[in-house]
Chain A
Amino acid sequence: MDFFPIWLSLRVALSATALTLLTGVPIAWVLARKRFLGRNALEAVVVLPLVLPPTVLGYYLLVAIGYRGPVGRALASIGLELAFTPGAAVLAACVGSIALVIKSAQAGFESVDAQLEQAARTLGRSEWSVFWSVTLPLAWRSVLAGTVLAFCRALGEFGITLMVAGNIPGRTQTLPLAIYDRVQANQMGEANALALVAVGIVVVLLFGLSRLARLRY
Chain B
Amino acid sequence: MRHSLSLGLALVCGFALGAGSTGAADPAPLTVFAASDLTFALKEIAPHFEKATGARVTMVFGSTGNFAHQIRQGGPADVFFAADQSFVDALIAEGVALRETRTLYAQGRIVLVTARAFGAKLTELRGLLDPRVRHIAIANPAHAPYGRAAEQALRKAGLWEALRPKLVFGENIRHALQFVQTGAVEAGIVARSVTDVPEVDWVPIDAAMHAPLDQAAVVVRRSARPELGLAFIQFVNGPEGRPIMKRYGFLLPGEF
Contact = CB atoms under 8 A, between A and B. Distances in A.
| A-side interface size class | 35 or more
Nearest to B59: A169
Interface of B: 1-2, 9, 12-13, 15-16, 18-20, 22-23, 29, 31, 36, 39-40, 43, 58-62, 66, 69-70, 72-76, 174-175, 178, 197
Secondary structure at the A interface, as helix, strand, loop or mixed, is helix
Contact of B58 (A11, A22, A168): A168
A84 B15 contact: no
Interface in A167-206: 167-171, 181, 183-186
A11 B22 contact: yes
B59 A15 contact: no
B73 A68 contact: yes
B73 A62 contact: yes
20 contacts: A14-B16, A15-B16, A19-B16, A62-B70, A66-B72, A67-B73, A68-B73, A68-B74, A72-B73, A83-B73, A90-B19, A132-B2, A163-B70, A166-B76, A168-B76, A169-B58, A171-B22, A171-B23, A184-B61, A185-B61
Contact of B1 (A137, A168, A169, A181): A137
A14 B13 CA distance: 8
B23 A66 contact: no
Nearest to A183: B178
A19 B15 CA distance: 12
Contact of B66 (A4, A19, A72, A163): A163
A145 to B, nearest CB: 15
B5 to A, nearest CB: 8
Given A66-B73, A186-B197, A86 B20 contact: yes
Secondary structure at the B interface, as helix, strand, loop or mixed, is helix
Nearest to A63: B73
A18 interface: yes
Most central of B18, B58, B75 by chain A CB within 10 Å = B75
A59 B61 CA distance: 18
Given A21-B9, A87-B20, 16 more contacts: A11-B22, A15-B12, A18-B13, A72-B73, A72-B74, A83-B75, A84-B70, A85-B20, A90-B16, A90-B19, A132-B2, A163-B69, A167-B60, A167-B61, A171-B23, A181-B61
